[in-house]
Structure formats: C-alpha cells, structure tokens
C-alpha cells in the first residue's frame, strides 16, 4: 500500500497537472458566473488566471523542458493580474461610494 502510494506520488504526469488546472478554471468560472459580491467575483477571476499559470508551468516543464517560455509567460500573467486586481478594487470602491454595497446585481441602472 505504501509502495503504491509512493509510486503514485512520485509519478505526477502532465495530465494530472492539466486536470488540476482545468478544475481550478471551472471553480473560477462557477464563481464568476454565480457570485453576487463584486469582491468574490474578483477573487474568482484571479482563480481563472492562476489556472492558466498552472497550465503554462506544466507545459513548460513537460513539453519544452529546455526552454522557460511557459514560466516567463506565467510571470507576466502574475504581474498583469495584479494590475488588473488593483484597477478592479478601485472600481469596486467607486461603486461602493455610490450605493454602500458591493453586490453586482444592485448595480442595475443600465438596462434598456
């Protein structure tokens, strides 16, 4: 049993990592589509970006091990996602100052 577990643990393949990325992406997708709280939506978007990062690093490790392309791409995504989050929080604060609420479904002046 222990031998089997150790074997399993030491042979993490590309498919395992991709599956994890896809799961994370799905969780993020679910969060973006169902959450009412704008902060929670922002967090779900960050999950989406992190799922992409996992994918990129995994591909970089298993497909092009001699090149760092995927890892460099992931670095850029982290930096840009931080900028995006800062702008997002600023916009949420702006909305909060008007309505004292961060619920996206209460922002409903723009319909038809």
Opening angle at CA 15, ends 5 and 22, nearest 5: 115
Is residue 111 involved in binding other proteins (CB under 8 A)? Answer: yes
Neighbours of 28 (CB within 10 A): 21
Residues in 24-43 at the binding interface with other proteins, rule: CB under 8 A: 25, 28, 32, 38, 41
Neighbours of 76 (CB within 10 A): 10
Question: How many residues make contact with other proteins (CB under 8 A)?
Answer: 54
Is residue 19 involved in binding other proteins (CB under 8 A)? Answer: no
Residue 105 has what DSSP assignment?
G
35 in Cβ contact with 44 (< 8 Å) = yes
- Which residues form the interface with other proteins (CB under 8 A)? 6, 9-10, 12, 18, 25, 28, 32, 38, 41, 45, 48-49, 51-52, 55-56, 58-59, 63-64, 69-70, 72-73, 75-80, 82-99, 104, 107, 109-111
């Amino acid at each position: 049993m222990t031998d089997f577990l150790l074997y399993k643990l030491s042979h993490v393949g590309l498919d395992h990592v991709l599956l994890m990325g896809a799961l994370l992406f799905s969780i993020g997708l679910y969060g973006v589509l169902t959450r009412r709280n704008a902060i929670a939506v922002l967090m779900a978007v960050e999950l989406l970006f992190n799922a992409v990062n996992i994918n990129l690093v995994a591909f970089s490790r298993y497909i092009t091990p001699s090149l760092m392309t995927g890892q460099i791409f992931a670095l850029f995504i982290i930096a840009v996602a931080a900028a995006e989050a800062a702008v997002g929080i600023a916009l949420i604060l702006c909305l909060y100052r008007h309505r004292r609420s961060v619920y996206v479904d209460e922002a409903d002046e723009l319909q038809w």
